[in-house]
């Protein structure tokens, strides 16, 4: 008997028929003797429906009062799905109770729309589990110190599930989703992409942040911090599939490095075409220049990803970084109006039509030549590299976006990822 | 400056456009210097949509665990509408904050689906009002002592609004609805029906309980107990209508009898065709017989309305009562299987096709001959009276349901209700 947390995404909860399937699956785990806590998302489309209604009434909601109301509103989506799932379980003879985040409570800070979990009280949940009930908790939301409803931001249900698993010291947190695991890259771009049976926490972090949208990155950080074993698996297998088979399916995100395991050098190829590149050219190379450029950008709440500063020549240097494509125009305007006059740089340039492609792998740490294989492969395809950024377990390049698919396919092949992964 | 509570029904909240109109109306009151608390229902159709989803998953939800989940589920309907209304007000530059019943908190007992309000904490609401905010509170719901969400049952938003008005000692509670007041009878049956500018609390109670579905009866009881001045008025006047005109519109439910006012003898004609009549005939007339008959019915949670016991002849009497038509078959079965053998009565009979028509008026107390005018009028129309029941301010008759419209029209005319009411 183990305490298991299941998380189901919006697609898995998308209709009463699908909710019934979720209940059948959960019931199977209960009947096998496990204690179950389930964290579902809102039914697919529901959060968007609610936010669209809000937008009709307030097209530009950005003050704290408005954000507070948006959170209270959006949170109802999950409150509906937990109630329906509890009824579906009860209808199958499985005792179940649902809670909103505020009832557990899941305590968060007051950053409406992107709140962070401070603590989770396990008293109520443990009492219900001890009484033989499945406990169903709303994903995506909590309550701030003043008793306001908060949401964790899009995809926050993953984070809720992992946080609940951490608080309850669950044996494993199973993230049921519409993909059957983490792949070496997106199979829509590389049909030969292979499912990974395991991936390290660090690699998963890089894959998630680089756009392999299987898991929300904050949930992976949370899992890493509290060492919650996390499994991504399909919610579209038949609910009555053999439990042992289901428990081994998908991709397990691990925290201990398995010495016995022959690890691939590169685990996967991530990519992202949501970014834009901006450069400040001919900046006088003196201390504090990075802050003078990036300070105003950060103050404007624009997230920065890759940052590159070239070595200087003639006392001047070029400074480039990438931002989300939606922030491109705002960033360019900011650089023109504030940064250019303040720094005495020569000019500003930018390109919104770029992509970022990254190779990720814990094996890179001990293997030389991985980056050079990447550069050679791209060169053989005549793809020009615009920026390079490296870390211990990933190497990213910024390319013209038209080369993205070609680059991903070539790299996937170059690193031998089309072979079935070793288990 | 006064503290005013507004309540808006589901139709008034039925779309973002209508919610915007509600916000315009509330903003008008705020700009006139009033402190506003608003209690809206769920958007029309929403509660039914949610309960239909639940029914797909659990066709027969009746245990306390299931009822708990249904309450949590249904409560989300109002949680959506309060958030949207807060945003609509903020968009018009009016500071506003929304609360779920649990956040105020509105404390109730644990009778899921039909909870009763125990207390309302005014601390948070008064602080917001003092800070210049409109406070929007979910109707229909509260929180029980264990922190579970409860609902007050259908139409409970009226009760929430009155309870909030009582707790805050509001100057007046305005119930905005899709009718423009309380009428002498249903205008769909008697086109000459007149709107009453005032009605006494006692009369309203009789009108509500007898089927004039303008206000939920519990809200009227609540208003009477705490002497909350209550006004029923239209939410379909233009939101920018002159405030003084709006404040005098509709029907005011009063608690003080106005000595100066020339009151009509009869204020209105109420009717109801949701009832069925059952009789236990030839019951041995001995002490305790009423309890022997009605005890099992009450134990089966069947509500009883009119009760008639005739004088006995030859030591036996006939005992009749009315129940909701939905409970008719169950009641008849219960009488046959339990009551007949236990009491030694001769037989049981019943009729589901009846209606009840009542004349209501506080003036009846001091006027003789009101009931006889009623009986004469029905007799002139050749309508047979099956049962008669009287109280100080109403006289009800049970008739074959086919006579209902005819009886209502004839009585409305006989009591001179087609004249415009005195203001």
Contacts for B355 with CB less than 8 Å, ≥ 6 apart: B271, B272, B273, B275, B398, B399, B400, B401, B403, B404, B407
Q: What is the pLDDT of residue A202?
A: 85
Flag whether B315 is in a domain: yes
Cβ contact A54–B147 (<8 Å): no
Q: In the structure, what pLDDT confidence band is assigned to residue A141 with cuts at 50, 70 and 90?
A: very high
> How far away is chain A from the Cα of B66, in angstroms, using its nearest Cα?
6
Distance (Å) from the C-alpha of residue A209 to the closest C-alpha of chain B? 32
Cα distances (Å, whole numbers) of residue B115 to A153, B111, B176, B210:
34, 5, 23, 22
Say yes or no: A126 and A162 in one domain. yes
Tell whether A72 lies on the interface with B, counting CB pairs under 8 A.
yes
Residues B99 and B134 in one domain: yes
pLDDT at residue number B204: 86
Q: Are residues A250 and A268 in the same domain?
A: no
The whole-number pLDDT of residue B238 equals 95
Q: Which residues of B touch A56 (CB under 8 A)?
A: 16
Higher per-residue pLDDT: A326 or A285:
A326
Q: How far is CA B59 from CA A43, A79, A88, B146, in A?
A: 20, 20, 10, 27
The domain tally of chain A equals 2
Q: What does the alpha-carbon distance between residue A116 and residue A344 come to, in Å, rounded to a whole number?
A: 39
Residue whose entry in the numeric block shows the structure tokens 């209808």: A91
> Which portions of chain B are predicted below pLDDT 70?
154-155, 209-213, 257-264, 366, 420-423
Q: Which domain holds residue B315?
A: 262-423
pLDDT > 70 fraction of chain A, expressed in percent and rounded: 95
Whether residue A209 has pLDDT greater than 90: no
Distance between CA atoms of residues A297 and A339, nearest Å: 9
Residue B209 lies in a domain: no
Closest CA to B38 of B145, B173, B179, B203: B173
Pair A245, A133 in one domain: yes
**Do A177 and A169 form a contact (C-beta atoms < 8 A)?**
no
Compute the average pLDDT of residues A151-160: 86
Looking at residue A324, what DSSP letter applies? E
Do residue B16 and residue A56 have CB atoms under 8 angstroms apart?
Answer: yes
pLDDT digits (tens, 9 = 90+) for B346-401: 999 999 999 999 999 887 776 777 888 898 999 999 998 888 888 878 888 999 99
Q: B53: which chain A residues are within 8 Å (Cβ-Cβ)?
A: 16, 80, 84
Pairing of strands A172-177, A230-234: parallel
H or E segment to which residue B390 belongs: strand B387-390
Residue A260: the pLDDT is 42
Query: With helix as H, strand as E and coil as C, how does B164-223 read?
Result: HHHHCCCCEEEEEECCCCCECCCCCCCCCCCECCEEEHHHHHHHHHCCCCCCCHHHHHHH
Q: Is B189 on the interface with A (CB under 8 A)?
A: no
To 10 degrees, what angle do helices B156-167 and B217-226 make? Answer: 10
Residue numbers in A near B87 (CB within 8 A):
54, 57-58, 61, 66, 69-70, 73
Per DSSP, the residues of B312-375 read PBTTEEEEEEEEEGGGHHHHHHHIIIIIHHHHT-SEEEEESSEEEEEEE-GGGGG-TTHHHHHH
Mean pLDDT of A395-399: 90
Q: Decide if B80 touches A, using CB distance below 8 A.
A: yes
Query: Is the pLDDT score of A125 beyond 70?
Result: yes
A155/chain B closest Cα distance in angstroms: 20
Nearest to B83 among A72, A91, A147 (CB): A72
Q: Are residues B230 and B286 in the same domain?
A: no
Do both B125 and B32 map to the same domain? yes
CA distances from residue A19 to A29, A96, A248, B187 in whole angstroms, order as listed: 16, 14, 23, 46
* Residue-level pLDDT at B335: 94
Query: Is residue A271 one of the residues assigned to a domain?
Result: yes
* Cβ-contact B252, B229 below 8 angstroms: yes
DSSP character string of A58-81: -SS--SHHHHHHHHHHHHHHHHHH
Is the pLDDT at A221 greater than 80? The verdict is yes
- Both B333 and B219 in one domain: the answer is no
Q: What does the alpha-carbon distance between residue A341 and residue A319 come to, in Å, rounded to a whole number?
A: 15
The verdict on B296 and B386 lying in the same domain is yes
Contacting residues of B for A24, CB less than 8 Å apart: none
Cβ(B38)–Cβ(B137) under 8 Å?
yes
CATH number of the structural domain spanning residue A418: 3.30.2130.10
Predicted local distance difference test score (pLDDT) of residue B264: 64
Residue B376 lies inside a defined structural domain of this protein: yes
Last residue of a domain, one of A222, A254, A286: A254
Residue A9 belongs to a domain: yes
- pLDDT-based confidence at A423, cuts 50/70/90? very low
Do residues B137 and B238 both lie within one domain?
Answer: yes
pLDDT greater than 60 at residue A258: no
Nearest to A305 by CA among A405, A203, A184, A206: A206
Q: What is the predicted pLDDT for the residue at B211?
A: 57
Q: Compare all CA atoms of chain B with the CA of A136 and give the residue at the minimum distance.
A: B69
User: A73 and B88: CB-CB below 8 Å?
Assistant: no
pLDDT at B257: 62
Q: DSSP class of residue B235?
A: S
Whole-number pLDDT of residue B420: 65
Pair B288, B150 in one domain: no
Give tens-digit pLDDT for A21-39: 999 999 999 999 999 999 9
Same domain, A415 and A366: yes
Instruction: Decide if pLDDT at A70 tops 80.
Output: yes
> Which residue has 């059952």 as its token pair?
B278
Of the residues A72, A106, A136, A142, the best mutation for testing chain B's interface (the one with the most B CB atoms within 10 Å of its CB) is A72
Does some domain include residue B407?
yes
Averaged pLDDT for residues A288-294: 83
User: Is there a domain that residue B69 lies in?
Assistant: yes
Distance between CA A344 and CA A340 in Å, rounded? 6
B364: Cβ contacts below 8 Å, ≥ 6 apart: B265, B266, B370, B392, B393, B394, B395
Q: How many CB pairs under 8 A join A and B?
A: 113
Residue B80 lies in a domain: yes
CB-CB under 8 Å, A63 with B90: yes
Q: Encoding tokens for residue B47?
A: 């509660």
A76/B80 CB distance under 8 A: yes
CATH of the domain at B93: 3.40.1160.10
Cβ atoms < 10 Å from Cβ of A241: 13
- Quick check: A53 contacting B, CB < 8 Å? yes
Pair B360, B247 in one domain: no
Residue A243, both tokens? 């439990």
**Closest by Cβ to B87, choosing from A69, A100, A147:** A69
Tell if the CB–CB gap between A73 and B80 is shorter than 8 Å. yes
């Amino acid at each position: 008997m183990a305490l298991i947390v299941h998380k189901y995404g919006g697609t898995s909860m998308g209709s009463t028929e699908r909710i019934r399937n979720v209940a059948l699956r959960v019931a199977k785990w209960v009947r096998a003797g496990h204690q179950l806590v389930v964290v579902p998302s809102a039914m697919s489309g529901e959060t968007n429906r609610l936010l669209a209604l809000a937008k009709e009434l307030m097209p530009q909601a950005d003050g704290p009062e408005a954000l507070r109301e948006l959170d209270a509103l959006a949170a109802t989506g999950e409150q509906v799905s937990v109630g329906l799932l509890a009824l579906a379980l009860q209808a199958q003879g499985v005792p179940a109770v649902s809670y909103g985040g505020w009832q557990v409570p899941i305590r968060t800070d007051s950053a409406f729309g992107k709140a962070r979990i401070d603590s989770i009280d396990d008293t109520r949940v443990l009492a219900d589990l001890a009484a033989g009930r499945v406990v169903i908790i709303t994903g995506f939301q909590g309550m701030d110190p003043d008793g306001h409803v908060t949401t964790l931001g899009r995809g926050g249900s993953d984070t809720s599930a992992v946080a609940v698993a951490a608080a309850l010291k669950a044996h494993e947190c199973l993230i049921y989703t519409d993909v059957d695991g983490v792949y070496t890259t997106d199979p829509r771009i590389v049909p030969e992409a292979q499912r990974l049976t395991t991936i390290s926490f660090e690699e998963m972090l890089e894959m998630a942040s680089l756009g392999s949208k299987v898991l929300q990155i904050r949930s992976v950080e949370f899992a890493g911090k509290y060492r919650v074993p996390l499994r991504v698996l399909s919610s579209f297998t038949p609910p009555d599939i053999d439990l042992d088979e289901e428990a081994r399916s998908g991709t397990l995100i691990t925290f201990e490095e398995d010495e016995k395991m022959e690890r691939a050098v590169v685990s996967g190829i991530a990519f992202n075409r949501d970014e834009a590149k901006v450069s400040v050219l001919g900046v006088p190379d003196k201390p504090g220049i990075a802050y003078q450029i990036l300070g105003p950008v950060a103050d404007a709440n624009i997230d920065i990803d890759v940052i590159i500063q070239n070595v200087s020549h003639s006392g001047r240097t070029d400074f480039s970084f990438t931002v989300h494509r939606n922030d491109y125009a705002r960033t360019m305007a900011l650089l023109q109006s504030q940064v250019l006059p303040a720094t005495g740089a020569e000019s500003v340039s930018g390109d919104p039509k770029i992509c970022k492609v990254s190779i990720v792998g814990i094996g890179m740490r001990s293997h030389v030549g991985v980056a050079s294989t990447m550069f050679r492969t791209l060169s053989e395809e005549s793809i020009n590299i615009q920026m390079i950024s490296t870390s211990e377990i990933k190497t990213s390049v910024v390319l013209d976006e038209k080369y993205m698919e070609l680059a991903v396919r070539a790299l996937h092949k170059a690193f031998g990822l089309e072979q079935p992964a070793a288990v």
